[in-house]
């Protein structure tokens, strides 16, 4: 899902000389208008005929791309699952445990698209502590009426994705685990069957403060989640 650390994770993968991840090839709605177009695009990529700004001309043994769950994947999962099985494609699921923190990041990114506080430029990811500090100044107000249902919907979507593609060769990783311990990247390298390398990323985390300092209507959010199944999101990563 968006704002789950996928851009950060992908930069780590692409720092490996034998891995080439081509970014969000289905980001534009036109690229996923129907399942035939989706399968044709994947054929182009896996036949090494697709070139993106993220692709590399090195000795690639693991080739892929980043696919958000809301980019035609879930609606066409049956045909895509058959394609994955036929071409023996492996899947890395990357999720974020604290969906409330993800929500803050989503709302802040939406705000940035209009406000553009970084010299009139929208940036989903930053590469300096100063840029991160500027973007983190914005504190979104969260609609508490819809909060619990939106958290539940995100949780259910992630569960459905694993259920739909459970028969593929796959691994499930969590953003928080990678954040705490970068040796978790070794799990991804082992899964992709590439030699272990020290992977690196230039991206800097934007929201590092406690949630209480990042949400404008913090008290209302606390009250809305108190006693719910999502209460732990208030204090835990």
37-79 residue pLDDT tens: 999 999 999 988 877 766 665 678 999 999 999 999 999 999 9
pLDDT at 143 over 80: yes
pLDDT at 175 over 70: yes
| Dist CA 145 CA 34 (whole Å) | 34
Question: Residue 193: which domain range?
Answer: 6-234
Is position 1 within any domain? no
pLDDT of residue 95: 97
Residues 6+ positions from 178 with CB-CB distance below 8 Å: 5, 9, 184, 185
CATH code, domain carrying 29: 3.40.50
Is position 146 within any domain? yes
Is position 40 within any domain? yes
β-bridge mates for residue 62, sequence order = 19
Helices vs strands, H then E, count in the chain:
9, 4
β-bridge mates for residue 19, sequence order = 62
pLDDT of residue 186: 96
Contact 101, 140 (CB under 8 A): no
- Region 5-29 average pLDDT: 95
pLDDT of residue 150: 97
The pTM of the full predicted model, rounded to 2 decimals, is: 0.92
pLDDT of residue 53: 65
pLDDT of residue 183: 92
How many structural domains are present in the chain? 1
Least confident of 45-49, 102-106, 183-187: 45-49
Is position 78 within any domain? yes
pLDDT at 132 over 80: yes
pLDDT at 237 over 60: no
More reliable by pLDDT, 53 or 17? 17
For 12-68, give the secondary structure using H, E and C: HHHCCCCEEECCCCCCCHHHHCCHHHHHHHHHHHHCCCCCCCCCCCCCCCEEECCCC
Least confident of 52-56, 174-178, 233-237: 52-56
Is position 210 within any domain? yes
When the pLDDT of each residue in the chain is averaged and rounded to a whole number, the result is 94
| Dist CA 134 CA 128 (whole Å) | 10
Q: What are phi and psi of 40, to 5 degrees?
A: -65, -40
pLDDT of residue 16: 95
pLDDT of residue 49: 82
């Amino acid at each position: 899902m968006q704002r789950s650390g996928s851009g950060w994770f992908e930069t780590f993968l692409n720092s490996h000389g034998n891995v080439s991840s081509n970014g969000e090839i289905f980001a534009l709605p036109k690229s996923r208008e129907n399942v035939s177009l989706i399968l044709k695009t994947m054929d182009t990529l896996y036949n090494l005929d697709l070139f993106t700004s993220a692709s590399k001309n090195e000795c690639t043994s693991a080739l892929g791309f980043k696919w958000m769950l809301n980019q035609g994947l879930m609606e066409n999962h049956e045909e895509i699952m058959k394609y994955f099985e036929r071409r023996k494609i492996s899947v890395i699921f990357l999720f974020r445990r604290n969906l409330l923190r993800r929500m803050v990041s989503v709302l802040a990114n939406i705000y940035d698209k209009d406000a553009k506080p970084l010299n009139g430029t929208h940036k989903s990811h930053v590469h300096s502590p100063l840029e991160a500090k500027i973007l983190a100044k914005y504190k979104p107000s969260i609609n508490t009426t819809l909060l619990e249902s939106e958290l539940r919907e995100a949780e259910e979507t992630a569960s459905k994705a694993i259920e739909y593609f459970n028969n593929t060769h796959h691994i499930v990783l969590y953003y928080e685990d990678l954040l705490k311990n970068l040796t978790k990247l070794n799990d991804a390298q082992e899964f992709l069957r590439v030699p272990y390398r020290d992977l690196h990323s230039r991206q800097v985390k934007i929201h590092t403060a406690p949630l209480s300092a990042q949400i404008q209507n913090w008290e209302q959010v606390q009250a809305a989640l108190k006693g719910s199944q999502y209460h732990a999101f208030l204090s835990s990563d």
